[in-house]
Amino acid sequence: MRVRARYTKSGKLRFISAIDLGRVWERSLRLADLPIAYSEGFSPHPKVSFPDALPLGYASTGEYAELTFAAPVVLDTAVKALNAAFPAGLEILLAVPVADGDPKLSSLLQASTWDLQYRADDDTARRILAAVDALRAADEVPVARQRKGAPEAVDMRPAVAEISAVASTDGVTVRVTLHHIDHLPPGAPPVALRPSEVHAGLEVLRPALPDPVLVTRVAQGRALDRGLAEALSGEHVPPLS
């Protein structure tokens, strides 16, 4: 029995690497005493797969995993047991069974919606909002990238499906939906754009912005004209306004 899950990586857990996170999953599955299937071979590992890795330091409410169980499980019970076994910061938000012939998980994860949180005074907040407007209006925004040790400019704009922002009392949150590399619009440079490069793009347009204090992947799924349809539930993740 195969199951797909959307989970969080937040709080202190955001400082552990993708490899460490995989080990935490394996151990938690054992701790929850679920009938997870094991790989064959010399050193058997529980069958859990992760379509991509969240860079260290980023938080997320939109990570995904696919699990293979050796025996049928009651989904709600299994999710409860796993959530009890997980350390704080790791939590399954939604789990769905996979039927034979369902599309591959990676094909459902076409885009990511990210929140970049800035701490800013009124003046800086205005500049961030202006940078967001400028980026939305721009046709081309070159950012620096290392390629084989040499700096190179890539146009980050085509990978940005949508960008929005909202000011709060102590800063600004920028929400950006980025096309994944296999789902870029035709003609876009083949770049897996990172949230740090979105920040770099904003700085190209309005120099000397503060670094974001927290970057969170909100969800993954399919980019819509407005917002994102979450991969497992279809739930609408709207832009900020």
Residues that bind other proteins (CB under 8 A): 11-13, 15-17, 19-20, 23-24, 26-31, 38, 42-44, 46, 56-57, 85, 87-89, 213
Give me the residue label for tokens 């990210």: 114
Q: Are the C-beta atoms of 189 and 158 separated by less than 8 Å?
A: yes
24 phi and psi angles, rounded to 5 deg: -60, -40
CB-nearer residue toward other proteins: 88 or 150: 88
Q: Closest separation between CB of residue 67 and other proteins, Å?
A: 15
Q: Closest separation between CB of residue 166 and other proteins, Å?
A: 23
> Looking at 10-133, which runs of residues are DSSP E strands?
48-49, 59-68, 90-97, 111-119
Q: Closest separation between CB of residue 28 and other proteins, Å?
A: 6
Residues listed for the chain? 241
Q: Are the C-beta atoms of 111 and 178 separated by less than 8 Å?
A: yes
Q: Closest separation between CB of residue 86 and other proteins, Å?
A: 9
CB-nearer residue toward other proteins: 25 or 64: 25
Q: Are the C-beta atoms of 106 and 209 separated by less than 8 Å?
A: no
CB-nearer residue toward other proteins: 182 or 211: 211
Strand partners, 228: 223, 237
CB-nearer residue toward other proteins: 42 or 146: 42
166 phi and psi angles, rounded to 5 deg: -145, 140
Q: Are the C-beta atoms of 1 and 69 separated by less than 8 Å?
A: yes
Gap between the Cα atoms of 225 and 241, Å rounded? 15
Residue 179 tokens read as 């096309």
Q: Closest separation between CB of residue 89 and other proteins, Å?
A: 7
178 phi and psi angles, rounded to 5 deg: -115, 135
CB-nearer residue toward other proteins: 23 or 226: 23
CB-nearer residue toward other proteins: 29 or 172: 29
